[in-house]
Amino acid sequence: MMSRHKELLLWIFGTALSVALIMALAWSIEGYPHSKPLSEAREPASASDSQRAKREALYQDFHASFLQGKPSPFVDVKIESPGRESAVAGEMMALVATIKAKQDLEGMRFTWHLPESGVRVIGGPLDGDLDSLQAGEERTLRLEIETETNENRQIHLHVYKHVDGKRMGKITQFNTVPDLRLKRQMRAKAEILEQMQKAGIRPHKLMQ
């Protein structure tokens, strides 16, 4: 009984420490005067390319998972825009969605949901069939859009199948102009996780 109580106290302490570190680092980042990526702003000149790449990968995992919504028993979905971080009014932006099956699936479909204004489709289907997918198999969708504003617009991709008359699947969000404040916080979170991993500290639910 005492052992369980001790484990609970240690878990609470570890979680509280993780949250405190994240808040402190994120707070300090808010006042940073430049908008360049945190990995560039805080990384010492002697840091290796592999270290910077690892930290950026951790950030990408955090940022992507934040926008992917609730987990699905059917698929994992990730949306990226290769070579472009933010949309520019009047220019083309390519969205590439990677869909990975978690189990053998039949009858899967997809639908892109665009906002009522500010975005125009110039290439790629808005909906269609994915047919059958084997566990671990990946499919790629491509949608080309033109944004009519420099303000953020949210685009959602629904990957689903009909189960008992209902659409069951996963909805993933893509922001045409990502929140720089959020991105800095995600990078800060990635840095803290990396330091905790090096120190051998269990991150508990830091990734959630």
Q: Which of 75, 134, 143 is nearest to 114 (CA)?
A: 143
Distance CA 52, CA 48 (A): 7
Using a 10 angstrom Cβ sphere, with 0-12 exposed, 13-18 middle and 19 or more buried, the burial of residue 147 is: buried
So what's the pLDDT on residue 84?
Answer: 81
Position 185 scores a pLDDT of 65
Each domain of the chain, given as residue ranges in start order, spans 1-34+180-208, 73-177
Among 72, 158, 167, 171, CA closest to 112: 158
Q: Give mean pLDDT in consecutive 10-residue pieces for the chain, a chain of 208 residues.
A: 58 60 50 38 50 56 49 89 86 94 95 94 96 94 94 92 90 83 66 74 52
Is the whole-model pTM more than 0.85? no
Dist. CA 89–CA 120, nearest whole Å: 11
Please report the pLDDT score of residue 193 as a whole number: 74
**Alpha helices, DSSP H, located in the chain:** 2-30, 38-42, 49-67, 180-199
In 3D space, the residue among 177, 179, 180, 176 whose CA is nearest the CA of residue 37 turns out to be: 180
Superfamily of 73-177 according to CATH: Immunoglobulins (2.60.40.10)
Q: What's the pLDDT score for residue 6? A: 58
First-to-last C-alpha distance (Å) of the chain: 28
Structure confidence at residue 63 (pLDDT): 43
Helix (H) or strand (E) holding 171: strand 166-175
